[in-house]
Amino acid sequence: MPVNTKQTSKAVATLASHTLHDPKASVIAKSLAASALSQTHTMNQTGAEMEHKAGQVLHSDKYSKDTKTLAGSVVAQANKERRAK
C-alpha cells in the first residue's frame, strides 16, 4: 500500500489548535482539527471514515472557510490508493 508522506503544515496545525480550544467550534470542526493535529510531524494517514467526513464538508456550503481548510488538509493526507478509487 502506498504511503502518504504529507504532513500537516504549521499554519493548519495552529488553526487546528485554536479550533480545539474554541468552545464555539462545531463537533465536526473539532474532529477535523484533531485528525489534522494527529498528522503533524508523524507519518499518520487519514482513516477512511474521517476522509469521508472531510469530503462531505468540502462539498457543503454550510461550513466555514476554516473548517474547509481543516477538511482539505485531512483529505490531502488520506491514503493515496484509497483516494484514487
pLDDT tens readout for residues 5-28: 778 999 999 999 999 999 999 999
Q: Count CA atoms within 13 Å of residue 59 on its CB side.
A: 7
Instruction: Enumerate the domain spans of the chain.
Output: 10-83
3-state secondary structure of 41: coil
Of 57, 1, 11, nearest to 36 by C-alpha is: 11
pTM: 0.86
Residue 68 burial (CB < 10 Å; 0-12/13-18/19+)?
middle
CA distance 80 to 63: 25
Q: Please, are residues 67 and 57 in contact by the beta-carbon 8 Å criterion? A: yes
pLDDT in tens, 14-72: 999 999 999 999 999 999 999 999 988 887 888 899 999 999 999 999 999 999 999 99
